[in-house]
Amino acid sequence: RQRQMCIRDSFLGVIIVCYITRWIWRNIFSKIAQKTPTKLDVKLVEYTEKPVILLLFFIGIRIIAERILSLPEISSLKFIPYIKNSFYALIVLSIAFLVSSFAEGFAIWYLEEIAYKTKTKMDEEFMRLFRRLSKIVIFFIAITIILDKFNQPITSLLGAAGIASLAVAFAAQETLSNMIAGFVIMIDKPFRIGDRIELSSGEIGDVVEIGLRSTKILSFDNNVIVVPNAEIAKAKIVNYGYPEPKMKLRLTVGVAYGTDLEKVKRIILDICKNCLLYTSDAADEL
């Protein structure tokens, strides 16, 4: 009976610890995070509350189980090690859930505070990809740790994962090259949204979107030219909008022999000043 009461009190202690942790997370950490200049702390506190409580719960249950399973009449049973390893697996999965929630909170904060405010959609696509890949990698590592604890060979699993990743890399070679080129464009910034550029093929247009796989350019014919990032990253690009939209054009104007050149010059300058394609500042400079 004393053992039963001890187990019951221990279980109630675990519940109380989880409840106190929840209260601290919502009434202390949350208020502290709201006072910080960035909303990243708020997202991290919000997304890590449940994983932390779940982790503490499984740790407490494992401690109680260790006491129960260490009893002389129970410790000699053959299935005891499997029960201990099962609690170990739950704790590892809880840690993986915590790390995954931490990455999820960071990704959501970046999408809401930074990615949606930029003109390019590249960082939005990258963060969505990061959210998926981070979960896969984190839980894959957790599963390998659990299998190793159960004395299961993980070399075959790692080998299969390596072969699968190699096959995916070969199959998605072009897509990966476009993604890498997109990151280079995002970092190097040879052109921005709204810049007028000329491609190596001679096509001219305004950049309307820089994506993770391709760049979209609106031509003068009001058609969208979709160029893979891998091609545009290694091609010669003329940016007419950088460092500023002002540009100089050289045109050859033919007139008849004996024409008053000064008069021709004045007429051309008057036409340029009245042209709607020039701003008032450019006209004053002329």
pTM of the full structure: 0.63
**Cα distances (Å, whole numbers) of residue 178 to 108, 171, 172, 181:** 24, 13, 10, 5
> What is the CA 210 to chain-centroid distance, rounded?
15
pLDDT, tens only, 240-285: 877 666 766 677 888 888 888 888 888 888 887 777 554 555 445 5
Is the distance from CB of 215 to CB of 205 less than 8 angstroms? no
Instruction: Kindly indicate the confidence band of residue 231, based on its pLDDT and cuts at 50, 70 and 90.
Output: confident
Residue 283: what pLDDT? 43
Residue 94: what pLDDT? 92
The one-character DSSP state at 201 is: T
Rounded to whole angstroms, the Cα distance separating 135 from 160 reads 19
Listed range (29-38, 141-150, 180-189) with the worst mean pLDDT: 180-189
Is the distance from CB of 207 to CB of 197 less than 8 angstroms? yes
pLDDT, tens only, 10-48: 788 888 888 999 999 888 888 888 888 888 888 888 899
Q: Which two tokens stand for residue 108?
A: 């959501």
SS3 label, residue 191: coil
Instruction: Identify the bridge partners of residue 225 per DSSP, sorted by sequence position.
Output: 217
Mean of pLDDT over the chain: 79
Residue 95: what pLDDT? 92
Instruction: Kindly indicate the confidence band of residue 286, based on its pLDDT and cuts at 50, 70 and 90.
Output: very low
SS3 label, residue 216: strand
CA-nearest of 131, 140, 128, 132 to 164 is 140
